[in-house]
Amino acid sequence: MALLSGYKFEHLQWSFPIAVTLHNLEEAVWLPAWAAAHASVLPWQPSPGRFRIMAAGLTLAAYGITWLSLKAGLRSFWTYLFVAYTFAMFLNILVPHLAGTIVFRSYTPGVVSAVLINLPITTVLLVRVLQERIVHTWAVATLVFGVPLIVAGVVGILFAVRLSA
């Protein structure tokens, strides 16, 4: 991380969609078979084609949001969306990747790129957001508290639906 610490936020932004690309490639290759093998305990069962289309869409969104953020400027809606997406990817390292690896006591698709690529890149970006005061304090509070609550709610609903089916 020290390697990236001397760069400003806007100089580091393109590292994010590259990290998302590498992460989604790992998941696209390994997740469909892994999910099928663990279908009895997962809240959803993605078809390989649908999952790969979704991963491609999220990857393209990362590039588009990054480009729009850089074009519109640091205080723009697009930069706030970029920070929100970066924070979501940071949380994605913890749940499901690290949590899944601990629960299943084995490799979960995406954990390698999540830890080795996404963790350092999202951490540096989010630290830069705070150091350079890229977003307002209320937005940081919304991300820190709102996003986890929404994600927890969605995951809880998915498990409840799966258990009742």
Cβ contact 155:100 at 8 Å: no
Both tokens of 3, joined, read 């390697």
SS3 5: coil
- The number of domains in the chain is 1
148 and 87 Cβ atoms separated by less than 8 Å: no
Q: Are 37 and 149 spatial neighbours (Cβ–Cβ below 8 Å)?
A: no
> What is the DSSP annotation of 24-54?
HHHHHHHHHHHHHHTTTTSS----HHHHHHH
Range of the domain at 49: 2-164
User: What is residue 41's predicted lDDT score, i.e. its pLDDT?
Assistant: 86
pLDDT averaged per 10 residues, the chain (length 165): 72 97 97 92 84 93 97 93 92 91 94 98 94 85 74 69 57
Indicate the pTM of the whole model: 0.84
Q: Which long-range contacts (C-beta less than 8 Å, at least 24 apart) are formed by 31-36?
A: 31/109, 31/110, 34/107, 34/108, 34/109
How far apart (Å, rounded) are the C-alpha atoms in residues 119 and 22? 13
Q: What is the pLDDT of residue 162?
A: 56
